[in-house]
Structure 1
C-alpha cells in the first residue's frame, strides 16, 4: 500500500472511531449467536443486547475494524425469522468544517484551538488522495452539538470560513470538496473565459463564476467529482494570472457553488456599506428602450417597484406637538372644582348589612285601571295633545340635530343655568 493510500485509510479509521452498528426491532428471545449469524460477513468484536420493558429487543455491535462503515450500504436488507431488520451505523456524524487554513498549520495547533470551545471527539485535516498533502481544510466533531454551534459562531466572527456539514456526509469520500474559492485576482479583472481557461488543465469546470462585489474580486469553480477538483487544485496551486499569484482554497464540502456564490455575494455587499451599489448606466439604457417599446409594461413595472419601496420604508413617526400647543391645553377654562358635583358613595358597614327593605308601595284597587294614553289612528299625524311633554325645556342657544356636540352643549347649558339660579 502506497503512502497516500495509507493516509486515506488512517483518515477513515479516525472518522469512524468509536462508531458501531445499531440494530433495532429484533424478534423476541433473540440471542447473541442470532445477531452474529445475521452479520456473518462482518468482523464483529462484541454484541450487546438491550431489552426494553415491553419486550422489544435491540443490539449494539462493536466492530473489529470500524473503518468498514465508510463503505456501508445503507440500502442493504437484513432478514431474521422472515422479518426485515434495520441495521445502521451509529451515532450519526455531526461535523464542523473549517476551511481556508494557513499552509503548514500543525495538527496540534488546530486541535488546541478548537478544543477551547468544548471537548472534541475527532479532529483532522483532509489530505489529498494522490499525494497525502494537507488540503488546507479540516473537519471536527464535538462531544456536544451546542459546542459545535458555539465554535462556528466564534470562528465566523473572527473571519474564518467554517460551516456545519450536512448530515448526509458520513463517508470520507463525501468529505472531499468539489468546489474551490479563487482569491487575489487582478484588480478590475472581468475575463470569465480566461479564468475558466486557467482552471481547465484537467477538465473544463461545469461551473465558473466571478463576483465583482466588494473591494476585491473573487471567483468560484466547481467540478463534477472531487477527484477532478483535487487534480486541478494541485495543478493551479501557485499559478499566476496577469502577474498576480492566485490564492486557491477548497470550500466546505456538500454545498453547491451557486449557493456559496449567493451567500458570499450578499456578505460582501453587506460589508461594503449601508446602501447598495447604484445600477450601472446599461440598466438605465435598457429601461429607456423598454419604455419606448412597451410603455404599458414599463409603467406596470415602475408601479411594482414603487410599491415594494413603500413596503420597505418604515412608517413615519409624527413629531411631538409644539410647546405652545401643550401650554394652551393647560390654560383651557375648566369649571371650578366646587361646581363639579360628585355623588357620595356610602361606606360599607358589615353591622348594617343587609340594609332594611323599603315599605311596599300602595297598589291601586283591582277595579280601577290606569288611564290610557291617547292613541293616534294608524296613518295619521299626531295631534298636539298626543305629543308627550319634553323632559325639560330646550335651552336658549341654537342646537340643531342629535349629534354628540349638540346634546353635550344642551346638557352643559342646562347644568350651568340651573347652578346660577341656585346661587
Structure 2
C-alpha cells in the first residue's frame, strides 16, 4: 500500500485513509436511496437500479483510486439523474433504454473530449458566472422536484403552482427531515443526510405510512437494467440536445468538483492540465465511469463534492476512494432497506442538496448586467420549464447576444460561441421540448 498509494509521500497513513473513506461514504451514501427513487419513475426496476447505483459508485471510485490515486468518491450524479428521468424520459418521451443509450454516447464523447484536451478548453472558455448559474439552477430544479414529491407544491389552475396540504403526513415529515438534516450538518455530524433519510423512514414505518421490507438480503438481480441500453434507438432527431446537455453538465460538474476537492487536498499544482498528471488521470477516470455506468444501468456517474469531507478527515490518496468503493459494494446487501425508503424520506435530502448547490449564486457578478442577466435566465428557466436543457440554452444564447449587443464580443470565449450556436441549431431544427 505504501508503494502503490505513496502514503508517506502524501503525509498520511492507512488508518487515516480508511477513516477518510468511511467519512466520504457516509456523506454520499444517500444516493443509494435517492437515485432508485428518481430513476424508478421512468419504469426502471427499483431494485436493479439500487444495485446498479452501488456498482457504478464502487466501480467509479475504484478507478479513481487506482488510476488517479486521488481521494475522490464517484457515484451517479444529482441533477443528471433528474434530467434523465424527468426531461429525457418524462418530457421528451424517450424510453429509459434509449436514455441509457444517450448516457453511453455522451460518455464516449466525454472520453474523447478528455483524451483530446478539448474538455479543458471548454471548461476554460465558459464564463465563471455561467458555471455558477448552472449549478444553482440545477439546485432549484432539484428543489422543485423534492417539493412536488413531498406534496408541498401542487398544481394550481389559477396560479400554475400552489401550496399543498400542510396537514398531510408526507409534507410534515419532509419538513421535519429537512430541519433534522440542516441541524445535524450545522453541528458537524458526519452522514447528516443519511441519518435524516433513515430517521424519517423509521418514523414513517412506525406510523404505518410506509411498509418495512427488512434490512439485509442477498443483492437483487441487476438483469433488468444490465446492458439494456438502446444505443441505436437513442440516435433519433431529439437526441442532439440531450447529448449536448449531458456532455456540458458532465464537463462542468465533474471538472469543477475534481479541481475544487483536489485543491483542498493540496494535490493540484498551478498551471495547465499537462503539468498536473494526477488531474489528467482523474478526468480520464470519471469519463470511463460514465460509460461503465450506462452499461450497468444508471444515469451519468460523476465525482462527488462530498469527497471534501473525506479530505477534511485527512484523506490524501486513492486508498480513500478504494475504501469508498468497498463500502458501496457492501451496501448492495441492504436492498430491502432501500426499498423501504418512501419518497418523503428522500425529499428532504433533495431539498438539502438543492440548498448546497444554490450557494453558487453568491459567485455571480450581480453588478455586471451582461453577466447577471444570462446567469439569471440559466437558473430560473431550469425549474420553470422543468428542464435543465432549456436553462442551458437560454443562458448561453443570451450571454452571446447581450455581449454582442453591448460591444463586448472579446469577452466571449470561442467555446461559448460554439455552445450558443449549437443551442440555436437545436431550437431552429428540433424546436422546444
Please state which band the TM-score falls in when normalised by the shorter chain: under 0.3
Give the alignment's TM-score, normalised by structure 2: 0.22
Give the alignment's TM-score, normalised by structure 1: 0.22
Richer in strand (by share): 1
Richer in helix (by share): 2
